[in-house]
Amino acid sequence: MTSKENFWTNSDVGLLIVRIALGGIIFFHGFHKLVHGIGDQFQILASNGIPGQFIYFVYVSEVLAPVLIVLGILTRISSLTIIVTMIVVFYALPFPIGLDVHGAMNIESQLYFLLLPIALFFTGPGRYTLKKNNSGNWLLD
């Protein structure tokens, strides 16, 4: 196999791009909550029977976890925090399933935010990470 074929079939580069895309987009959701607060989300959770204090978990899943995902540190655990957050979002904010005026699914972005961390949970961060984990525990990759 030539180096040109290696470049175009490098799944580690693909995982890096997925990590940067997911982490970058989710981080801005968390940054907005850092700057503008979480009062509205607190009320939404409480009105759906979920203790409002769980909203503070969003700082872990939307601020810390995306940074760790981009860096490739604790990617699987960080992805798991986003998965849990998205499951709560689907429960607390029932979205109508259907098509919008442009033919896209109404829950398209929410599905991306659920499916991409699921993929990273199963694949891990790939080779291009800030720190290589030598613990031998797959969950800590």
d(CA 125, CA 70): 9
| Residue keyed to tokens 């760790």 | 68
Number of domains in the chain: 1
Convert the pLDDT of each residue in 89-118 to its tens digit: 888 877 677 887 888 888 888 899 999 999
Task: Report d(CA 115, CA 86) in Å as an integer.
Answer: 10
112 located within any domain = yes
> pTM of the prediction?
0.87
pLDDT tens figures, 15-24: 999 999 999 9
6 falls within a domain: no
The rounded Cα 93 to chain-centroid distance in angstroms is: 18
**Rounded Cα–Cα distance for residues 109 and 101 (Å):** 15
32 is a domain residue? yes
SS3 105: strand
- Mean pLDDT, the chain, integer: 87
For residue 52, give the nearest of 39, 65, 63 by alpha carbon.
39
Whether 5 is covered by a domain: the verdict is no
pLDDT at 4: 61
3 located within any domain? no
Domain range for 69 is 11-140
4 lies in a domain? no
